[in-house]
Structure formats: C-alpha cells, structure tokens
A and B are shown apart, each in its own frame.
Chain A
Amino acid sequence: MSDAGRGRGARLGRAGGARGDRRALPDGGVAEASPAETAADPVLSVEGVDSGYGDVQVLDDLSLTLEQEEIACLVGPNGAGKSTVLKTVFGLLTPWEGHVRYRGDDIGGMAPEDIVRIGIGYVPQTDNVFASLTIEENLRMGGVARDDDLEPVIEQLYDRFPILEEKRAAKARTLSGGQRQVLAFARALVMEPDVLLIDEPSAGLAPNTADEVFADVQAVNDLGTAILMVEQNARKGLAISDTGYVLDQGSVAYADDADGLLDNPEVSRLYLGG
C-alpha cells in the first residue's frame, strides 16, 4: 500500500506569507510563483487530515498532493470520502487533525468565501449553478470577489465556451445537463483560480456529454489551472489525469500516476470494475 502523500511538503509554516495577489491567468505558461517558492512545491497538499460531518468521521489520516498544472483524480467506492476531501480543502468542513496547505500556507479552517479569494475554486457536484439567475448573472456571481472589471474575463469565457454567450440572457435552469456543467466550471473560472476542485463533473450526464465535459476539464487545465477532481467514472477520470488516488474508507489506498493505477491489476480488480 503506497501512501504517496505522506511526508511530502510537510514543512510547517513557510516564512513570509506566500499568498500574493495572483490574478493574472497564466496563459499557457508556468503559474506565477511567489518568491519563496520552488518549482517542486505542490500547489496544494493535504497532510494527515481527519475530517467528517458532525460526530461522524469520514477522512482518516488522509494525505495527498496536487502539483502545479496537473490533474489529480480521486476515485474509489461510494462513501470513501472523495467529496469530503474537496469540502475539507475548500473550508466547507474543518479538518479535525492534520493540515491543508495551499502554496505552503495552512488554510485548514479558513472560510470558503476567503479561500475563493486566494486562488482556489470549487465546483460542487449538484446545485452548482444559480438556477433562477441568467447565465451572465451566474458568471457575475462567480466574480464577486474580484475588484477589477469583470467584462474582459467574462468575454474570455464566452470565447472559450460559445454556448454560454449564445444563452447569456437565459435563466440557468433552462440549460441542459452538459451546458449546466460548463456554466458551473465557468462560474468558478471567473476568479481565474490556480486550483480548481471539481466534484464529479460527469455525474448524471450521458456518455457523449460526459466526454465533452472531460474535454473541457482538460482545456481548463491546459491554461495552467491545477485540478483536483472527484470522479465516479474512474477509468475516464483517470484517463485525463496525471495522478490518481484511490480512496477507501477515508484513507488513500493507492496513489500513483494515473496510468500506473489504470495498469495496476489489483486496483483494476478491486476498484475499477475489472
């Protein structure tokens, strides 16, 4: 059992807040690094985290890392704690034990509305658009934490996802499942995050639509955003990922390159349905 995350990036409290104002979208280049940073630093690390809901513990000493510009995919059976990882990273849950670090800074217990301002975005699995608001209003809501003019970034997103521009004045509830997922990404991308947490992007979508959504995930990643993704459809999720983590009962059971996991007969048999 490999426990890849443990120990990596375990330095406590980097001197000098590395949290800069990194707003510029890294256009195909290296994500702008803060001065104290080296290329080897993970952009996000979860170190020995216990977490859960109320009294019910879900995560048990879970560790993982997300490198800059990579896609990491969390797979595993229902109830393994995949979504709980994202919620704990994004401050919707507070870690009971351990640390969540973003560029070295401990962000465990920070509120979501603050976390979104330091460069992490989150796309929930369900109810991930404002159904009664128009497409354009949804995107504006995605940018409430920005001080600058939203128009350029929204125009950029319209260029990338033409369907949104076409329907900009329509209520989000009128979108199809796939379009809705695109809007959910776009809402999070208005902040131009360094890290995007995506919970089950293909849930409830027809296979063709799911493939399109995975292509969008890759496109977002190509622009330099690191992605931590939970995916029920493990094979497809891993196929577009750099790294993979198999979660079981709140801990990392296997961690490897995505290809490594796909080729691992044991993982295949136990978790990927043969």
Chain B
Amino acid sequence: MSVLEYLANGLVFSSIIVLASIGLSLVYSIADFANFAHGDTMTVGAYSALVTFGFVGGLGARFLGLPLGFFVALAVGVAVAALVAVITQRFLYDAMDVDSIGMLITSIGVAFVYRALIQFQFGSDFVEFGIQVLRPIEFLIPFGVRMTLHDVAIIVSAAILVAGLHTLLQYTDLGRKMRATADNPSLARVSGIRVDRITLWTWVIGAGLAGAGGVFLGLYNQISPRMGFNILLVVFAAVILGGIGSVYGAMLGGFLIGMINQLTPILTDVGIPIGIEYANAIAFVIMVAVLLVRPNGIAGGQGAGT
C-alpha cells in the first residue's frame, strides 16, 4: 500500500473520530464531566440508522454510491442519539447532585445500560447496513489509492457537519451563547442566558454528532454493540490531545489521532517491527508526549470558542 493510501484511509477514519471528539468535548465544556456514555451514544445512532435503513434502504437514487435511504437513516440515527442523550441528561444527569467524578462514574453506568439494551434487542453479533460494496474509484488507482465513493461520502459528510458546527458557533446567537456558557457559566447566568437551555442544546448537538459518527463507523466497519465503546478511548485520546473542552482542539486532535492510527503500517514498511495492532498504543504514546510539553493539550485552556 502506498503512503497516499494510508493518508486516504487516515482521512476517512479521522472524519469519524472528529465527529465523535467534537461531541465529547462540547459536552465536557458545558456539562463539565467526561461522558463515558459517549461511545455508546454512537452505537445508539448506528443501530437506529440500521433499523431505519431496513425500512427505507431501497429508497431513491444513489448519491456518492449510497441510496438516499441511507441519508434518511443517518438523519434518524442522529436524531435518536440526540433524543436518548437529552432524556438521559434531563432525567438522570440533571437530577444527580454529585461532582464531576461522580458524573463520570454515573456515565459509565449509563454506557452499560445503553449497550445492554442494544444487545438485548439486536444480539451481540456483527451486522451491516448491507449496502453493496463498491469498487475503488478508478482514477485514484494509478496514484496507489484504493478508495470507494463510500469513503468519500464519509469525508464529505463529516466536512459538512464540521462546517455547519463552525457556522453555528461563530455566527449564530445560540452558538455565541454556547461559547459564552462554556467560557464562564456563572457570568452567562448573570448576563441573563438561560444556561439550562444552552446545556440542552449542547447535548443535542454533541450527541447528534456522536450519532453521525456512529453511523459512519458502521458504514466504514461493521455494527456491533461494542463498536462505540471500543472506539471511545481513541476519542478520549483525540479530545485530550486537542485540549479538552475546546471544540476546535477536538477537531484537530481527532484529525491527528485518526491519521496517526491509520499511518501505523508505515512503520512496518520502513522496517520497524511494530504491527498495526499497536496503532492505538502509538496514538496514546504521541498523546502523552504532547501532554508532557503542553499539559492542557494543543488548544488547551483557551475556552470552547477558540
């Protein structure tokens, strides 16, 4: 495989990690705890999309090698992930009177509940959307890159979502309030911002993006009850690398960790006997190295809006 192909794979994987990282960082910035149920929120999104796809899979024309029904399923996956997170927030997290460590532990419990319910309903086997696997795009093959239109769809969709989030944060009233609340929640209240509502929207957006990440992860790999949890540590690495609480840091961290993860085979190619099974370990080593120099992460300590 060529370096270009590793980079192409890295771009696809990064897209998924970025979507998941943004959500984790957003929720951290406003709810002030590391949400261990975030990975399983991705799983919820993936399974919701899977079920929806069963009904609408044959729908319509194809776009980037995907039936339009897939995009309907994606929208449902995003919506269900957001809804489940909001219900959890409203009836559990909000009602808990514990510190951020207590919240973290609670969220681990929530993760188990999500996963158990999914496994109860769908079993623990791997499943797939069952969309026809595509051939690699012809004109990229001479460059040594085997990449399908599905991969392109993942990258394009992630780019659209990231651009949308950026627009929301920078140019809308809600986005400004979200940044203000993440920056200084007590001053936000003092200014008259209804912090509860902002928190709710943050959960909607953060979990919605996680849902999208889950759907794409399911398209990229397979769908299983453990898919989200298995990727959660990588997502945490990305968020911490970028600077936890910073949305733009999460984008950068997600991109870097995803890339590093997929570039690992290069080590074998150049004669260093470290196999791809160590991809995550390498990502973590690099994260630790960066944190030794910048303890708050690359964009750390600058607030959500920067």
Interface residues of A (CB under 8 A from B): 90, 92, 111-113, 116-117, 122, 124, 127-133, 137, 140-142, 144-145, 171, 187, 191
Contact = CB atoms under 8 A, between A and B. Distances in A.
A27 B112 CA distance: 61
A130 B173 CA distance: 15
Interface of B: 173, 176-177, 179-180, 183-184, 186-195, 302-306
A137 B193 CA distance: 13
B177 A141 contact: yes
Contacts of B191: 116, 141-142, 144-145, 187
Given A132-B306, A141-B191, A171-B306, 12 more contacts: A92-B190, A111-B189, A113-B192, A116-B190, A116-B192, A124-B187, A130-B187, A130-B188, A132-B179, A132-B183, A137-B180, A145-B192
Contacts, number: 69
B187 A132 contact: no
Contact of A133 (B186, B190, B194, B305): B305
Contacts of B176: 133, 137, 140-141
B187 A128 contact: yes
Contacts of A92: 186, 190
Nearest to A123: B190
Contacts of B302: 132
A132 B184 CA distance: 9
A113 B184 contact: no
A141 B188 contact: yes
Contacts of B189: 111-113
B297 to A, nearest CB: 15
A62 to B, nearest CB: 21
Given A137-B180, A140-B176, A144-B177, A132 B305 contact: yes
B89 to A, nearest CB: 19
Give the 5 A-B residue pairs with the shortest CB-CB distance, closest first.
Answer: A132-B303, A145-B192, A116-B192, A130-B183, A141-B180
Contacts of B195: 113
Contacts of B306: 132, 171
Contacts of A116: 190-192
Contacts of A133: 176, 179-180, 183, 305
A127 B186 contact: yes
Contacts of B190: 90, 92, 112, 116, 122, 124
Contacts of A141: 176-177, 180, 188, 191, 193
Nearest to A137: B176
A44 to B, nearest CB: 17
10 contacts: A113-B195, A116-B190, A127-B187, A128-B187, A130-B180, A132-B179, A132-B304, A132-B305, A133-B180, A144-B177
B184 A127 contact: yes
A144 B193 contact: yes
Nearest to A117: B192
A107 B193 CA distance: 19
Most A CB atoms within 10 A — which of B179, B188, B191? B191
A211 B250 CA distance: 43
A269 to B, nearest CB: 37
Contacts of B303: 131-132
Contacts of A140: 173, 176
A223 B272 CA distance: 74
A124 B180 contact: no
A141 B184 CA distance: 11
Contact of A131 (B177, B184, B188): B184
A131 B183 contact: yes
Nearest to A116: B192
A113 B194 contact: yes
A198 to B, nearest CB: 12
A129 B186 CA distance: 11
A191 B192 contact: yes
